[in-house]
Amino acid sequence: MLLDTERAYRAVAARDARFDGCFILAVRTTRIYCRPSCPAVTPKRHNAEFYPTAAAAQAAGYRACRRCLPDAVPGSPEWNLRADLAARAVRLISDGVVEREGVPGLARRLGYSERHLSRVLTAEVGAGPLALARAHRAHSARLLIETTDLPFADVAFAAGFASVRQFNDTIRAVFACTPSRMRAARSAVGTTGRITLRLPYRPPFDAEGLLAFFRAEAIPGVEDVSDGTYARSLRLPHGPATVRLTPADGHVSCSLRLADLRDLGTAVSRVRRLLDLDADPQAVDAFLGRDPVLRPLVLARPGVRVPGSVDGAETLLRALGHVSPGEPLEVPDGPITHLYPAPSAIDSPVARALAEGRLVVDVGRDADDLRAELSAFPGVGPEVADHVVMRVLGAPDVPLTPDHWRPWRSYAAMHLRRTA
């Protein structure tokens, strides 16, 4: 990913929050990296370096700014706009694949050798898969340190570290702070049994539209929309979970109840994708607002999002009409009493293919390949395939609307649905 350094420096000088998450500012004199909108004194141009990711800055020897918390920002919209190997790998790493399956498992999912994958990521993102996963673990650890009272040994293993020593070394290297000092400085702690986080987004944000979408599609027992909050169950790699999402000014309040804390990073990544929180709505609205048909819709409802997915198999099966709840939760969470059924519990050719691994629907798939595979699958067809590609991959330009609305046809479709 090539950065226009002069434009990046102008964004830093203006403290433009629109660029938070799009690139990282690193200051040579302090060896600290920041988000572009950091309120600290703007460094001189010759002291500023720019990196595409926090992992790249960490690999270059920089540590995170404790004032602006550069990991606590919306992610780059780049990873949904791009469908190349690097973008697919970044999405899977964010989902926790390296922690669960290692770099060999990541490479196997993507269909490339470990060496080639590392070479591509280093060239495109500035860091290899292990460095990207390390940054992901550091972020998860910070969340657990600041929002729970868990012993640090439990935090270390829940965040994916192989040892407490590795956890301590990483926290010191990334945040220039010990876990004890970080916990002492925290501002809030999750309630008993729950972890409460603030998920930032780039404004504007059409929260009402997302809640209306989820309300219309909700499966009783699995999902609930009431009092401005969307709640649902989650089937995560290490166990079930429930989440409550309440939009607020500048962020979404996310309250998670996890059966296994190792799923925290994965849960946050999936929820962010569900709400399309890494989108750049100003870019989308500026383009679509130039069209005479869409202009009044954009003005009336700025910041429309494309609802994503927390589980590719679930999204596909629901699109095919499987809308019954599955097994009950051991401990219900208010109106959330059941999980969505596992593919093995549904009797259909598609469900069997999903359960047996012959059909994979996840964020690591190439959009064109997944669309072609689903379209050719008996009983699926192109319309369902487009729906799944749009929601699971966050693809912004699925051909659901006329070509002249490229490259944001998915958002144009949501504007039309929102109006209807």
Nearest to 94 by CA among 136, 56, 134, 58: 136
Distance CA 109, CA 107 (A): 5
Residue 302 near residue 296 (C-beta atoms within 8 A)? no
Instruction: Specify whether 154 is catalytic.
Output: no
Strand partners, 336: 333
Closest residue by Cα to residue 287 from 277, 298, 279: 298
Q: Rounded to an integer, what distance in angstroms lies between the CA atom of residue 367 and that of residue 395?
A: 8
What is the DSSP code (8-state) at residue 341?
P
Inter-axis angle of helices 381-392 and 312-319, nearest 10: 150
Cα 172 from Cα 183, distance rounded (Å): 13
**Which residues of 60-138 form beta strands (DSSP E)?**
63-64
Q: How many CA atoms lie within 13 A of 163 on its CB side?
A: 3
Distances (CA, A) of 18 to 38, 201, 235, 278, 295: 12, 10, 33, 11, 22
- Strand duo 48-51 + 24-27: pairing: antiparallel
**The pair of three-digit structure tokens given for residue 251, joined into one six-digit string:** 């962020």
How many Cβ atoms are within 10 Å of 73's Cβ, its own excluded? 22
Residues, the chain: 420
Active site residue 34: yes
* Rounded Cα distance, 248 and 215, in Å: 18
Rounded to whole angstroms, how far apart are CA atoms 186 and 179?
Answer: 11
Cβ-proximal residues to 94 (8 Å cutoff; 6+ apart), any chain? 75, 136, 265, 269
Residue among 22, 34, 68, 177 flagged as catalytic: 34
What single DSSP character describes residue 381? H
Which is the catalytic residue, given 227, 249, 347, 403? 403
CA distance 103 to 130: 7
Q: Which residues are catalytic?
A: 34, 403
